[in-house]
Structure 1
Amino acid sequence: MTIYVERTEQREEDGWAIFETAVHHPRLPDSLYFRTFSRYSDQISEESDAPALALLIPAMALGEDIHITTTVSEKLLRNLNGPVQTILLAIAPHLSHVKVIADPEPRPPHHGDGLVATGFSAGVDSFCTLTQYRPDDAPQGFGISFLTYNNVGSQGLSNTKDFIERYDRLNKKASKEGLELVPIDSNMDDFFQTCKDIDFVQTHSVRNSATALLLQKKTGRFLYSSAYPYSSTFVGKTCFIAHADPVFLPLLGTEAIEILPVGGRA
């Protein structure tokens, strides 16, 4: 049986801009959504790139192909059907190879005028990235423009109230750094409940990179804070996907946005 994925639709509701994609498969939820505060809606892409990446591991766990009824980045689609799955199968051999079917379409590049984002959890890795890529002290084109805080499964089961409370605490720290913190809430984790014997630390690079793809309308680079030094990089069976990040993350971007590991030299 194939997983059918429809075009992403946008709506406004109670101060949220919601980007929702209908998903058709009896073992999966009926829709995948991402949402952020309405004031950030102009930064969010309605393309199907984020849903395509977000649904890849659940599809591989079920052994079901994905058929997307609209376009996916030509670059991303090629990688999803090739090296991305090769790496994921090395990390978690019990997954299955699947086909991702969509109309390929190149995304317009930003030609150097795109924003730069990074995730922020107030952990050591986050502050390391902030220190190295402050807007006034970063290499040209790499100065951080804003931060993101994602609800994609890192906290286990999380309701909106808990997520907003954590966001408010982190936002105070982000404000002290002079940067806006953009929240991205999602029910993505519900789809990963079908994935037996695989958890957040084996999948976080995919989950968080899917939210980065949401930002490609205005963002040209997403800096992903490294968990390990480059010397710990390998592609193979592991409980920690971050070991593969230097090889893996650059494969998850599009023509419009790069997803780059940073901090691994430390």
Structure 2
Amino acid sequence: MTSEPSFPLYEGKHALPSVVDPGEHAAYVRDRHPDATLTQLDGVVLLYQQRTMDHAQEVYPTRPQDGWVRGHLRLLDREGRALGICGGFGPGAPATALVLEQIIALGARRVITVGTCATLQPGLTAGDLVVCTQALRDEGVSHHYLAPGTTVEPSETLTGRLAGALTALGTPVRQGMAWTTDAPYRETAAEVAHHRARGVLAADMEAAAVFAVAQHRAVPAAAVFVAADSLIDRRPRRDAPGIRRALGTALEGALTAVAAAAQP
């Protein structure tokens, strides 16, 4: 009889050094762009939806920095603070972790992600904001960065700043746990019922990976979701104008939070 394999397959790998270091990417970029550094920024906001990136380019005067990361990176000045926005790299934990490693290697000091989620609780509807205070590690990436475990937490300080900034915008905010999974088309009714009973607010695809990479690299991270649909009340997919507006609000709050976190 063979024993069940562990995950990752090489036990204890989270404590071992990597063969490929993200610093190699930073050096490669700087050979072509000598000014490629993010050390001057107070923080970077990662975006998953193209419509949110389009909104950012319409609302905020930004400067593109092409070729620095595997995504669309734009810098902006806001009330005397230097910030970054990055999108266009696609959804999911692996894509997000790759870009997060790259921006940290270039000097990013704090990160907030803005995305969508599916709700697990009846009190949440499309367009509601959820600030993640803990993520269930039901994806693969976090297990390559941290010791075995069920959950991972964001920066408590940055998460508090984020919730405060969103509340100051006059937007109701729910705070709680998310279920991060790599397989959105394999979310089962049994899992939904199990996590809902534990009080999990929503399902997403990135938060656990973001918190794990950030923790491994000693960089504060936080996440906010906009509820886009429900796992307990499935309906045909449709556009909801409130989601687009809420993503814009979430972005505004995230930019405010990373700027505020950098101030003494």
Same-fold status (TM-score > 0.5):
no
Higher-Rg structure is: 2
Structure with more contact order per residue of length (Cα contacts < 8 Å, sep ≥ 6): 2
Normalising to structure 1: TM-score of the pair? 0.32
Normalising to structure 2: TM-score of the pair? 0.32
